[in-house]
């Protein structure tokens, strides 16, 4: 999965969360409106506010329920548009009510306190979008709208700020300076704090992407259990440290693959390889192995990387057993569907290898290198000459925990290698 896909996934989750929280806010607003009627002096304003609330809730419900990676941009645009226009719609509705009741001459200086009520909702929803720069723009936008509302009241010729409790209680147009100072400080602090939270969420997003990318990369090679152990013990199992280890190396390939794939469409060949490799990988992961690479119709796996999980030769043997069971089941399925039978060859060797990251600065691959790998590959190839489906080297047989009957092929000459080895043709 590419980084942009991981980022989009996180952004979708953020937008969905904003939609869910917004739904809750508007639902609460509807309940309060039903219970209190909000004391509207204008029936039209009350009706418009109900429409406004239902519209907002509908938008947030749609976002929370239906947003996904494909339609994300549309829903983000819709929600941002609502966040931009809703403060002005609310002001317009209250303006209609003001035309009836005349808020300033009714509530006087207390109007200043009401100006700070709605700002927190918009700023919190902006942060939940999980998009730092957009969140900052929306937070500043809501802060400036609040500043505009406050300035309209403060600079009105009738109103004045005071800290005198007598004037505050006796004069309709007196504005409580203490409460205003607290509201202004809290609003400013909240805006700064929410910007800091948005920045922290951005940092966490990058860390989460790096972690998810790491998990995806590890998942290509290691079983879930091995991957979890690597994540929990990063210091102990540092994949960046190259080292030499005693491991079991396993190679498989499909017998007569060229002939088998002759006449097949490319899509059919890919489907065949994918099904085969899925069965092999499942067996490898089930027994604590590592998938090193796919080479055409071949699979290379190792046991003992990045760390030993007990008797690695025995784990390799158990893996081969599961592979053979899977292949026999697959053979029956294909036979029932009148499809060509697929058989394969397996070669396993045990010995020292260099384990670590190799490659250039542009592309690095976690793999194993050494004579053991070459010999394991040649053993798999030797299955053709010996007419065997599974061949183990003598070193593997000496490491396993059980007595396994086999047909010994003594002093076999490995292609490209002077030293001869003993091979064991086994049935598992």
> Could you count the other beta carbons within 10 Å of the beta carbon of residue 297?
20
Token pair 């005071």 in the structure block, residue:
162
> Could you count the other beta carbons within 10 Å of the beta carbon of residue 90?
17
Residues 6+ apart with CB under 8 A from 40: 46, 49, 97
For the chain, give the mean pLDDT.
86
Single out the residue of 320, 236, 325, 372 nearest to residue 226, CA to CA.
236
For residue 103, pLDDT beyond 70 = yes
The more confident residue out of 240 and 365 is 365
Query: What CA–CA distances, in Å, run from 213 to 202, 207, 238, 278?
Result: 16, 10, 17, 21
- Supply the pLDDT for residue 213: 56
Query: What CA–CA distances, in Å, run from 154 to 21, 116, 157, 165?
Result: 33, 13, 8, 18
* CA atoms of 228 and 410, how far apart (whole Å): 42
- Supply the pLDDT for residue 376: 93
Q: Which of the residue ranges 29-38, 82-91, 204-213 has the most confident prediction, judged by mean pLDDT?
A: 82-91
The superfamily (CATH) of domain 238-425 is Nucleotide cyclase, GGDEF domain (3.30.70.1230)
Single out the residue of 125, 117, 121 nearest to residue 94, CA to CA.
117
Mean pLDDT, to the nearest integer, of 201-206?
A: 78
- Supply the pLDDT for residue 220: 57
Single out the residue of 271, 346, 269 nearest to residue 301, CA to CA.
346
Single out the residue of 166, 345, 325, 165 nearest to residue 256, CA to CA.
345
The more confident residue out of 78 and 288 is 78
- Supply the pLDDT for residue 263: 80
Helix (H, G, I), strand (E, B) or coil at 304: coil
For residue 7, pLDDT beyond 90 = no
> Could you count the other beta carbons within 10 Å of the beta carbon of residue 265?
9
215-252 pLDDT, tens digit per residue, is 555 555 565 555 555 555 554 445 556 678 899 999 99
Asked whether 160 and 175 are in contact (CB, 8 A), the reply is yes
Q: At what angle do helices 177-221 and 3-36 cross, to 10 degrees?
A: 140
> Could you count the other beta carbons within 10 Å of the beta carbon of residue 362?
5
Q: Which of the residue ranges 61-65, 121-125, 261-265 has the most confident prediction, judged by mean pLDDT?
A: 61-65
Strand partners, 64: none
Strand partners, 391: 347, 425
| Sequence spans of domains, the chain | 3-218, 238-425
Query: What CA–CA distances, in Å, run from 177 to 107, 110, 125, 170?
Result: 16, 11, 29, 15
Mean pLDDT, to the nearest integer, of 349-365?
A: 74
């Amino acid at each position: 999965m590419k980084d942009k896909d991981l980022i989009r996934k996180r952004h979708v989750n953020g937008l969905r969360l904003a939609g869910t929280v917004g739904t809750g806010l508007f639902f609460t607003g509807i309940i309060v409106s039903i219970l209190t009627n909000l004391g509207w002096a204008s029936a039209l304003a009350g009706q418009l506010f109900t429409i406004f609330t239902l519209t907002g809730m509908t938008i947030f419900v749609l976002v929370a329920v239906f947003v996904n990676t494909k339609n994300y941009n549309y829903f983000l645009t819709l929600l941002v548009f609502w966040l931009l226009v809703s403060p002005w719609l609310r002001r317009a509705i209250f303006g209609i009510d003001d035309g009836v009741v005349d808020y300033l001459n009714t509530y006087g200086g207390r109007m200043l306190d009401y100006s700070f009520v709605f700002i927190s909702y918009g700023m919190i929803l902006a942060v939940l979008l999980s998009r730092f720069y957009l969140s900052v723009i929306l937070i500043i936008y809501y802060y400036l709208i609040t500043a505009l509302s406050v300035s309209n009241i403060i600079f009105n010729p009738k109103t004045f700020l005071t800290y005198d409790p007598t004037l505050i209680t006796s004069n309709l147009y007196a504005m409580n300076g203490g409460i205003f100072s607290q509201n202004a400080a809290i609003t400013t602090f909240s805006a700064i704090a929410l910007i800091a939270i948005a920045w922290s969420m951005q940092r966490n997003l990058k860390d989460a992407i790096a972690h998810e990318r790491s998990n995806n990369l590890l998942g290509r090679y290691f079983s879930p259990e091995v991957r979890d152990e690597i994540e929990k013990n990063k210091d102990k199992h540092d994949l960046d440290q190259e080292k030499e280890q005693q491991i079991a190396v396993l190679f498989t390939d499909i017998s007569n693959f060229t002939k088998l794939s002759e006449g097949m469409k490319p899509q059919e060949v890919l489907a065949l390889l994918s099904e085969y490799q899925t069965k092999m990988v499942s067996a490898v992961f089930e027994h604590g192995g590592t998938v090193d690479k796919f080479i055409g119709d071949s699979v290379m796996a190792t046991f003992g990387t990045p760390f030993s999980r007990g008797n690695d030769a025995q784990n390799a043997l158990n893996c081969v057993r599961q592979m053979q069971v899977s292949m026999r089941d697959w053979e029956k399925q294909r036979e029932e569907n009148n499809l060509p039978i697929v058989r394969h060859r397996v070669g396993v060797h045990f010995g020292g290898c260099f384990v670590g990251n190799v490659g250039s600065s542009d592309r690095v691959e976690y793999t194993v290198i050494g004579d053991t790998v070459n010999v394991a590959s040649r053993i798999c190839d030797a299955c053709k000459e010996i007419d065997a489906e599974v061949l183990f080297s003598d070193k593997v047989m000496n490491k396993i925990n059980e007595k396994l009957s086999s047909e010994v092929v003594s002093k076999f000459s490995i292609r490209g290698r002077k030293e001869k080895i003993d091979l064991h043709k086994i049935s598992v």
